[in-house]
Every structure is written in C-alpha cells, then in structure tokens.
C-alpha cells in the first residue's frame, strides 16, 4: 500500500469553525474526552473532505481510522451542527433591508441524488423524479443578495415539485411577500414563478411584447443574472452537492450546511 500527503483547499478558519461546533456538540451530549475513536479535528476534516471532494466514505473512514458506519455517523453529525447555524429567511431579509439591499433573487435548483423510488399515492408518480431535469433529486429554493451570494436556502421538497409550489410549501414565498410589503425589499425570479404574487417580479411571458415590456424583461434578466450565480457558487465549491448519495430527505440539511461553509469563506463578511 502506498501512502502520500494531500492538501485540502479549505481555509484553516473554516476547519476551526467546524471543529469548534463539533466540540460544543460533544460537550452537549456529555461525551468524555478521548471517548471517541477520532478527535473533533479529525472528524471536521472528514466532513470537509466529503463536502469539498465528494470523497467516498470507505476512503474517508480508512484515512480517519474509523469504521465506515462510524464515518457515516460522524458525517451526519457534522452536517447537522452546520445546518443548525443556517439563518432564518425573515432575519436575513431584515438584515438585508437594513444594509440597503435593492432586491433579492429567488431561484430553485435540483440537487441530484441516487435513484430512489417513492410513489405519490395520489398520482402514482415517482416523487423524487424531476421531469424537467430527467433525473432524481430534491428541489431546494435559494435566495441570493444583489451581489449573487447565497444568503438562505429552503428545506428540501421532492424533485417532482414545481419551483413555485416548492417556494410556497417551504414558506419562502410568504417571507418574501412580507419583506416586499413591510421592508420595501422586492424579489426577482424567473418565469417559473409567474403568479407568485405582489413583490415577486418575474419577466412577462409571450412574443411580440411592447417595447416597454421587453425593456423591463431585459432589465430583470440582467439583475437576476448576477444573483443566480449563488447556486453555481454552492455547487462548484462543494462537489458533494452535485449528487447526494445519502437519503434524499437529508438534502436540505446538506445544502444548509454548505451555505454555512460558504459564508465562512466569504471575504469581508
């Protein structure tokens, strides 16, 4: 067997943040010092490697010196302590309004997962299969600031659910309506959110639009384009989000954890 050294391209401050959260979780559970097979630091590295490299668990467990079952337990614990730090959308919007944001951008994404079959008892269709993407996965709504940085993510809904329905089901639409009405902070979205309600601005549909309407569409598209980079930022930075190999119900927690890791690396945050 050949051994070699490797470098994980994650800032030391991010590893320290996760290590501190794991130490706090062990204390909360009453875990004694040295009672675990691996230190909180080693556990943090396992979790960060899973997110950043999408490394397989047998490899991560072997490198950490634990069993595969323990490795998965460590991973889920790391995901949960990070996801617990995810901000509430209402507070994010209040802070954004106070900071002078002109708008936020709402968009949905499919987080792909391994094939799983859960049949909708009403329609008989596979809940986690997205006909639009022709793949299994979970629908997650993402809100980005005007600079295109993700600031909030929703719980997961089955991939078969439309973006507008997912925004309603997760409560994101209600929070955005309140922000538009009470804070004067509108949200921009694509045509898939047509009919979302007051405060959610979407491009007009149809051909041969009036010049004023076509100009409005172009303006919305330009403003939205900057904001929509947030989803690409999450998926490109944390490779595990490209295809989740855990229970699809865990997708929401995984994306929330990735948001916290991304925030930790944001310059001048």
Give 20-37 pLDDT, tens digit per residue.
999 999 999 988 887 888
State the burial class of residue 94 (Cβ atoms within 10 Å of its Cβ: 0-12, 13-18, 19+): middle
Are residue 73 and residue 105 in the same domain, yes or no?
no
Q: What is the mean pLDDT of the chain?
A: 91
The number of beta carbons lying within 10 Å of the beta carbon of residue 34 is 7
Could you give the CA distance from residue 134 to residue 105 in angstroms, rounded to a whole number?
A: 25
pLDDT at residue 48 is higher than 90: yes
- Do 103 and 176 touch, CB atoms closer than 8 A? no
Instruction: Give the CA angle between residues 20, 77, 247 to the nearest 5°.
Output: 150
pLDDT at residue 269 is higher than 60: no
pLDDT at residue 2 is higher than 90: no
Q: What is the pLDDT of residue 122?
A: 66
Are residue 205 and residue 229 in the same domain, yes or no?
yes
Q: Is residue 34 part of a domain?
A: yes
Q: What is the pTM of this model?
A: 0.91
Q: Is residue 259 part of a domain?
A: no
Q: What is the pLDDT of residue 121?
A: 61
pLDDT at residue 193 is higher than 60: yes
Q: What is the pLDDT of residue 5?
A: 74
Are residue 228 and residue 101 in the same domain, yes or no?
yes
Kindly report, residue by residue over 81-111, the tens digit of the pLDDT.
999 999 999 999 999 999 999 999 999 999 9
Q: What is the pLDDT of residue 124?
A: 63
3-class secondary-structure state, position 195: coil
The domain of 212 spans 89-246
Are residue 141 and residue 76 in the same domain, yes or no?
no
Are residue 149 and residue 197 in the same domain, yes or no?
yes
Residue matched to tokens 């596979």:
126
């Amino acid at each position: 067997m050949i051994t070699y050294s490797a470098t994980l391209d994650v800032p030391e401050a991010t590893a320290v943040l996760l290590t501190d959260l794991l130490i706090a979780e062990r204390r909360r559970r009453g875990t004694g010092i040295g009672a675990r097979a691996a230190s909180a630091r080693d556990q943090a590295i396992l979790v960060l490697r899973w997110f950043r490299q999408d490394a397989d668990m047998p490899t991560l467990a072997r490198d950490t010196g634990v069993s595969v079952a323990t490795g998965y337990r460590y991973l889920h614990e790391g995901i949960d302590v990070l996801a617990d730090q995810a901000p509430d959308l209402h507070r994010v919007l209040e802070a954004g309004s106070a900071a002078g944001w002109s708008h936020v951008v709402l968009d949905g994404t499919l987080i792909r997962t391994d094939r799983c079959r859960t049949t909708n008892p009403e329609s008989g269709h596979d809940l986690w299969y997205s006909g639009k993407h022709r793949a299994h996965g979970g629908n997650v709504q993402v809100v980005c600031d005007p600079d295109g940085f993700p600031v909030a993510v929703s719980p997961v809904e089955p991939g078969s659910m439309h973006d507008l329905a997912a925004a309603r089901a997760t409560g994101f639409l209600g929070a955005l309506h309140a922000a538009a009405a009470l804070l004067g902070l509108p949200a921009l979205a694509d045509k898939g959110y047509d009919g979302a309600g007051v405060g959610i601005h979407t491009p007009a549909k149809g051909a041969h639009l009036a010049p004023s309407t076509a100009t409005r569409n172009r303006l919305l598209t330009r403003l939205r384009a900057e904001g929509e980079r947030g989803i690409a930022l999450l998926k490109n930075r944390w490779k595990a989000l490209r295809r989740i190999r855990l229970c699809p119900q865990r997708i929401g927690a995984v994306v929330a954890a990735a948001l916290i890791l991304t925030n930790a690396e944001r310059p001048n945050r």
